[in-house]
Chain A
């Protein structure tokens, strides 16, 4: 015990005497949390709309006024001809171009139905659909308004089997993206920092040559590993606590479930992550290599974690790939427990997977380390 304590003190000293490192471990995650929570949104706002109005009738003007009033749309330009309209799309001056054809009002009243053209810059596919739906909703609104003015009876006459639908959104009634993102981001950040630290650590000793000194000191393997493992685990827990505190203070994220479950999961998760880190560390010869390998895994871990895109939307084979992904489990547990108040029993599968991963990766790391010395 005494030996482990001394080894831990050595690690902490090495970390804290490196000033930039202290900054990286404390302020950086917080900064990222704040920036990420604001940046990581799939909301579609401030859509630039151009309207090519060839009709210039009272109805067309009314429609344009309604579009202008829509909170998510910005009327950017009024091109005169199709070439000008398309140029706006090409130059990124407009995301949408609505074309009101000539005689729109006349034909609308005569045929009792109308037609409009909408061009959407669809390079970002999911955004394009939402942006188009904003215009669709306004047009629908406009149509109902006209209908009520001209034929108020039509609404009453239309009958038949009807279902009244009501819907509610639980756990996040304000539909705030930050509530959703902050717990997930926190899980990702803690995992990432600990993985990087662990992966670089033993390699650094190797590269500088101090590993030889450690190898000839009278300590057991388990003491060596524990002395390396515990400091990073503590740093990870510290970052998690700090992040939760800030998330609560700044973003008012709900803390529905038990924090004990969150921290317990964090410990299990980080032990597995440390195992992966050390395995990389024993495998690599230079810090550059270690950095590369861990970067490779981090990118895949994050992309496949469900943090930014829902796991449900992945094809089945890709969903299976998320099972050994520590970030995916951490993100899920954070969201489940903090937002929905899930208890230990609800997230037992996540605990089990990470426990198995901990044993496997730490075992491999110790085995691989032994082989080399």
Chain B
């Protein structure tokens, strides 16, 4: 036990004396949560648009004024010719163009005015959203200008947004950032440190030392469990204190599943390190096999339900997918183990499986 502790201390020295890595290990979660919380939103404001106003009368000018006052759009240019629309889109400063035909005021009074909206459809959701914004502005303009009769038999929808009434995107990013960071610290770092000892040749020294090989591996991963826990706490703290993300469920349950996920990731990292010889391959391997799927196929940014079937199937074997579901449920819904029992079981099963596989792959001798 004493030799084991000495070994863990050695690993801690390795990490602590490398100030740059340490700084990043602790600075990265902070930077990411702040970025996600403040900068990454799906809401659109102040999008550039152009107008081709063929009537230039009081009504059309007022409509343009309303677009600018809405907060969603700002007028980049008043065009003269139709060809300029294409050029404006190509210059990349606008996302929407509005064409107002001649004699707009006159036609409007007679109830037969027309308008054309052209959206930059390259990004479908943005295009749809902008057209919706524009239509709402135009509808309001009509309502204010005259009496549009309200039709009977309207149905009012009382919509209640549960778990995230303000529709804040940070609610969904905090669990995601925790997941990706734990994956990075636990899996990537572990595979790199072991590959490093191999590459530098110090692994042989460790293997001939009187410590059991299993103890070497455990000793190597213990510091990363602690760093992982520290990072998770840091992200949670910023999420709660700065952005008001709630933790409705039990803290004990939350940290238990965090430890479970760290164990799963660590065993994955060890598994990768048993298969590679250089840090470069270890890095690229964990990047492809772990980081990319954890970001893309875990439901962190993109909804799994909307993906094609093969990707939905692949998503089922990604630990991050299950962990994110558990985190969201415990933090934002405040449910207990009875609801997330199955997900936790799957995650635990994965941890056991990866530990066994990497144990069988672990060779005591090199070369």
- Which of A's residues lie within 8 Å of B, judged by CB? 18, 20-21, 24, 28, 31-32, 35-36, 38-48, 89-92, 108, 112-129, 132, 135-136, 139-140, 142-143, 146-147, 150-151, 154-155, 157-173, 175-177, 179-180, 196, 200, 204, 207-208, 284-289, 291-293, 295-296, 299-300, 303-304, 308-310, 312-315, 318, 321, 332, 335-336, 339-343, 346-347
CB distance from B122 to the nearest CB of A (A): 5
- Produce 1/0 per residue, B245-282, CB < 8 A to A: 00000000000000000000000000000001011110
Which chain A residue shows the least CB distance to B200? A207
**A114 and B118 in contact (CB under 8 A), knowing A38-B311, A296-B24?**
no
Interfacial residues of chain B within 105-133, with CB under 8 A of chain A in the complex: 108-109, 111-128, 131
Which chain B residue shows the least CB distance to A25? B284
Q: For A18, give its contact among B142, B281, B332 (CB under 8 Å).
A: B281
Asked if A342 and B285 make an inter-chain contact with CB atoms under 8 angstroms apart, the answer reads: no
Asked if A313 and B161 make an inter-chain contact with CB atoms under 8 angstroms apart, the answer reads: no
Does any Cβ of A come within 8 Å of B69's Cβ? no
- Produce 1/0 per residue, B22-44, CB < 8 A to A: 00110110011001101111111
Asked if A118 and B158 make an inter-chain contact with CB atoms under 8 angstroms apart, the answer reads: yes
Asked if A161 and B146 make an inter-chain contact with CB atoms under 8 angstroms apart, the answer reads: yes
Asked if A332 and B92 make an inter-chain contact with CB atoms under 8 angstroms apart, the answer reads: yes
User: Could you list 10 further interchain pairs (A-B, Cβ under 8 angstroms) beyond the known A304-B39, A313-B42?
Assistant: A38-B307, A116-B157, A119-B162, A132-B159, A143-B155, A161-B142, A170-B120, A172-B122, A175-B124, A312-B44
Contacts of B196 in A (CB 8 A): 286-288
Asked if B89 and A340 make an inter-chain contact with CB atoms under 8 angstroms apart, the answer reads: yes
**A289 and B18 in contact (CB under 8 A), knowing A18-B281, A118-B157?**
yes
Bound form: Cα–Cα A125–B165 in Å: 9
Asked if B138 and A165 make an inter-chain contact with CB atoms under 8 angstroms apart, the answer reads: yes
Bound form: Cα–Cα A139–B167 in Å: 22
Asked if A287 and B172 make an inter-chain contact with CB atoms under 8 angstroms apart, the answer reads: no
Bound form: Cα–Cα A306–B50 in Å: 22
CB distance from A280 to the nearest CB of B (A): 10
Asked if B152 and A112 make an inter-chain contact with CB atoms under 8 angstroms apart, the answer reads: yes
Contacts of A173 in B (CB 8 A): 121
- Which of B's residues lie within 8 Å of A, judged by CB? 18, 20-21, 24-25, 27-28, 31-32, 35-36, 38-47, 86, 89-92, 95, 108-109, 111-128, 131, 134-135, 138, 141-142, 145-149, 151-169, 171-172, 184, 188-189, 192-193, 196, 199-200, 276, 278-281, 283-285, 287-288, 292, 296-297, 301-303, 305-308, 311, 325, 328-329, 332-333, 335, 339
Q: For B154, give its contact among A113, A123, A176 (CB under 8 Å).
A: A113
Asked if B35 and A300 make an inter-chain contact with CB atoms under 8 angstroms apart, the answer reads: yes
Which chain B residue shows the least CB distance to A150? B153
Which chain A residue shows the least CB distance to B124? A175
Asked if B151 and A161 make an inter-chain contact with CB atoms under 8 angstroms apart, the answer reads: no
Contacts of A288 in B (CB 8 A): 18, 21, 189, 192-193, 196, 279
Bound form: Cα–Cα A48–B287 in Å: 33
Bound form: Cα–Cα A44–B91 in Å: 30
**A315 and B113 in contact (CB under 8 A), knowing A24-B284, A340-B90, A346-B92?**
no
Bound form: Cα–Cα A167–B47 in Å: 17
CB distance from B194 to the nearest CB of A (A): 11
Contacts of A32 in B (CB 8 A): 288, 292
Bound form: Cα–Cα A135–B157 in Å: 9
Bound form: Cα–Cα A318–B279 in Å: 34
Asked if B90 and A284 make an inter-chain contact with CB atoms under 8 angstroms apart, the answer reads: no
Q: For A169, give its contact among B119, B184, B305 (CB under 8 Å).
A: B119
**A122 and B142 in contact (CB under 8 A), knowing A176-B124, A304-B39?**
no
Asked if B20 and A293 make an inter-chain contact with CB atoms under 8 angstroms apart, the answer reads: yes
Asked if B156 and A114 make an inter-chain contact with CB atoms under 8 angstroms apart, the answer reads: yes
Contacts of B279 in A (CB 8 A): 200, 204, 287-288, 291
Asked if A292 and B158 make an inter-chain contact with CB atoms under 8 angstroms apart, the answer reads: no
Bound form: Cα–Cα A300–B160 in Å: 34
CB distance from A327 to the nearest CB of B (A): 14
